[in-house]
Amino acid sequence: MTDIAIHWFRLDLRLRDNPALRAAAKHSQMIPLYICDTSEPDALKMGGASQWWLHQSLMSLNSDLDDQLVIYRGDPEQILMDIAKQSGASHVYWNRGYEPHRINQDMVIKVKLKQRGVNAISHNGRLLWEPMTVLKADQTPYKVFTPYYRKGCLSAAEPRYPENAPEHMNCLPKPATSLSIDDLDLSPDIPWYETMEQLWQPGEQGAADRLSRYINEAALHYTRDRDIPSVEGTSKLSPHLHFGELSPNQIWYAIKDHFRDDSIDNIKSIDKYLAELGWREFSYYLLYHFPELPTKNVSSRFDRFPWLDDPTSLRAWQRGMTGIPIIDAGMRELWQTGYMHNRVRMVVGSFLVKNLLTHWHDGAAWFHDCLLDADLAVNSASWQWVAGSGADAAPYFRIFNPILQGEKFDKDGLYVRKYCPELKDLPNKYIHKPWEAPQEILKLSGITLGDDYPQPIVDLKQSRQRALAAFQEIKTA
């Protein structure tokens, strides 16, 4: 009798610590399968940068699988059904997703496969603590991060220790109908990704390299360096994590094991970093328990918030042409590299939602389009956090002053000068507020405001007042 299993790769593009893959590999033969899902809702369609990453990551995975990766495009339900039938597979394995449409899709597929006598088995390959297992004493979900993390997660059972890659994978010959990675048409025609190629190495090996570099070079100084965008003070693992090129478990234990015997001073940095993984978990948790997170304000009083709809200022923000250096540097970093430093993400988010009174949906959509690490759960939860409409969100009146943020975290203007080179000759005193520079200094620096670099599109003080006034309108209930 046949003993064939399918492993359905999704956001778990790795061989190591992949529970579903391990389970599939135990069968005498297996089919490693990737499906380019055309049934996804629009809001989830990948932006260009993410597509480029996916292309690279699939290349890497396929190479690790000795060119055995089977690829199709279409509706996963149909494709899985067809392949199971043609191959005679008795089992299908995958790692669970937590996005509402994926939960739904998985449920439907499970039922249909079972109707055909095929076992469908899902594993946890994505989270340290799965959302359905973490509840308050009264069986309702947490709404505040700290108790969620401390009581709900850290005091619960320890996360799974990472597993090795399967020892053997006996892959069924690849069917002739399998597409090639190029057939998926993920790589853009215009090679705008050349900058990204310099900065990133998608795939399981790239993820492992990035993790060990972080552990060896930055982890001990995380609390000191993490807010300084001109310094490599963060791990930059987010795109790798999104595509599942490594699991949070691998990060968690690589760090815990490596710094096991370290002194109390260093533990601060370690715990702070691990808590950031906790925020990622919290985002997935919120999305699971509040499936409308991507579109609906968690705090419903924001439904009445008087957002402005001004395409001109939105576009200035998107293109990094607001006239406020730290904002423009961040938005240009995003556009050029597919990434933005976390501190700057908060500052540009606050600016869009508060100083420009733009709905957080617009910010989330642009980030989703441009980020290599675009992730529905994290992106939605983070924008609601910035906007003040989320669970355990930043209070609305916490409005960042981009000048002060710049002066505090980019003191010498290194970050601004890198992404706004037209400002590079301004002295530090004015690098975060060129409009306050005396004429002669602007002239010496080769800048004509409104020509080489924009005048600020809003007055920071006035727009701050306007935001506070707008917030007053929705304050009751």
Residues that bind DNA (CB under 7 A): 145, 276, 279, 342-343, 346, 394-395, 397-401, 404-405, 408, 460-461, 464, 468, 471-472
Residue 222, CA atoms < 13 Å, CB-side half-sphere: 22
Question: Is residue 255 a contact partner of residue 274, using CB atoms and an 8 Å limit?
Answer: yes
| Residue 36: C-alpha distances to residues 97, 126, 158, 363, 391 (Å) | 15, 19, 34, 26, 33
Strands 29-37 and 4-9: parallel
* Cα radius of gyration rounded to whole Å, the chain: 24
Minimum CB distance to DNA, residue 468 (Å)? 4
Choose between 107 and 404: whose C-beta lies nearer to DNA.
Answer: 404
Q: Which of 18, 285, 327 is nearest to 153 (CA)?
A: 285
Least separation, in Å, of the C-beta of 385 and DNA?
7
Residues with catalytic annotation?
276, 279, 307, 342, 360, 383
Q: Spell out the residues 6+ positions from residue 389 whose beta carbon is closer than 8 angstroms to its own.
A: 297, 298, 299, 302, 305, 360
Helix axes 342-350, 360-370, angle to 10 degrees: 150
27 vs 242, beta carbon nearer DNA: 242
Please calculate the CA angle 191-196-200 and round it to the nearest 5 degrees.
Answer: 140
Q: What is the 3-state secondary structure (H, E, C) of 435-471?
A: HHCCHHHHHHCCCCECCCECCCCCCHHHHHHHHHHHH
Q: Name the helix (H) or strand (E) containing 245.
A: none
Give exposure, 347-378, as e/b (b: 16+ Cβ within 10 Å).
Answer: bbbbbbbbbbbbbbbbbbbbbbbbbbbbbbbb
CB of 430 to DNA, least distance (A): 17
Q: Which two tokens stand for residue 438?
A: 């005396």
| DSSP class of 160 | P
CB of residue 347 to DNA, shortest distance in Å = 8
- Joined tokens for residue 429: 């005193």
Phi, psi of 357 (to 5 degrees): 50, 40
- In whole angstroms, the minimum distance from the beta carbon of 262 to DNA comes to 22
Nearer to DNA, 279 or 307 (CB): 279
Residue in the block written with tokens 């010496």: 444
Q: Smallest gap, in angstroms, from Cβ of residue 21 to DNA?
A: 31
Q: Which residue has the tokens 């039922």?
A: 111
d(CA 272, CA 338): 25
Whole-number minimum distance, CB 404 to DNA, in Å? Answer: 4
Residue 452, SS3 per DSSP: coil
